[in-house]
């Protein structure tokens, strides 16, 4: 038969474990949010780089044919 001190110890242990789980949960949530923020920042940076590259490629593609056409016209004349 459990004594009052055993019951008190069991309650204290249960309380400690509950607090420990709460701390672990809070830490896990901070890590989860930090990882999400890091992924969003990386995605934003990579998207900006991709858009800049696409714009540069588009400019380069539109500039080359104009020069080539002008060169061909100059050769015909």
Residue 9 tokens read as: 């110890």
The residue ranges of every structural domain in the chain are 1-77
The first and second tokens of residue 64, run together, are 């080359």
This prediction's pTM: 0.57
pLDDT, position 11: 95
Distance, CA of 9 to CA of 32 (rounded, Å): 34
Q: How far is CA 30 from CA 17, 48, 54, 67, in A?
A: 20, 27, 36, 56
**27-60 pLDDT, tens digit each:** 999 999 999 999 999 999 999 999 999 999 999 9
């Amino acid at each position: 038969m459990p004594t009052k001190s055993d019951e008190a110890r069991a309650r204290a242990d249960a309380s400690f474990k509950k607090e420990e789980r709460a701390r672990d949960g809070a830490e896990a949530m901070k890590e989860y949010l930090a990882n999400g923020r890091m992924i969003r920042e990386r995605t934003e940076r990579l998207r900006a780089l991709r858009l800049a590259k696409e714009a540069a490629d588009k400019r380069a593609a539109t500039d080359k044919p104009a020069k080539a056409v002008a060169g061909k016209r100059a050769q015909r004349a």
